[in-house]
Amino acid sequence: MSKEAIVLVLVNLFRRYGYEGASLAQISKVTGLGKASLYHYFPGGKEEMVRAALDYIDNWVETNILKILRSNASPLERLQAMCQQVEVFYDRGQTPCLWAILTLEESSDRFHTRIKQALTVWIEVLADVLKEAGIEAELATIRAQEAILRIQGALILTRGLNDTTPFERTMKSLAEELLS
């Protein structure tokens, strides 16, 4: 199992169980590696594992979201493409957001700064698209925040109700509503 594949496992476990909830025993089991082997890849232990997971997400966002948002397609097309990526990444709302669960857990304070940074960048790039579409700067930022807010809210609600409808509905209408 490559390090990339291990990190992918980490991402999925921390998303679903949070920092305290994901144990090394579980990680060891799912990766098939002994605990000691995990320390070969992540000498800093669990904290470094989370950092690696966050790195992976940063990279995923850059590649699959920000790159699209900075492309030269029409604003609507870019926003729709973003929504599609988001829908797949979160499995129609069935898999939690790593940022969200770490943000809620006060015990994960150490990661809050970089999560804040990642959110801020996404919002800025999103706001740039909206400005390009003719929306005034201040409103663009508010709407960009609203987009993230609705994605996150849809994730909670869809998991809470155990029904993917709210998430799918949100992703379907989000792009157009941002531009209206």
Partner DNA sequence: GTCTATACGTGGATAGAC
Partner DNA sequence: GTCTATCCACGTATAGAC
Interacting residues with its own copies (CB under 8 A): 16-21, 96, 99-101, 103-107, 112, 115-116, 119-120, 142, 145, 148-154, 156-157, 159-162, 166, 169-170
Contact between residue 132 and residue 119 where contact means Cβ atoms under 8 Å apart:
no
Q: Is 32 in the site for DNA (CB under 7 A)?
A: yes
Q: Is 12 in the site for DNA (CB under 7 A)?
A: no
Task: Pick the binder of DNA from 8, 30, 46, 148 (CB under 7 A).
Answer: 46
Out of DNA, its own copies, none, what residue 149 binds, judged by CB under 5 to 8 A for its kind, is its own copies
Out of DNA, its own copies, none, what residue 160 binds, judged by CB under 5 to 8 A for its kind, is its own copies
Q: How far apart are CA 174 and CA 124, in angstroms?
A: 17
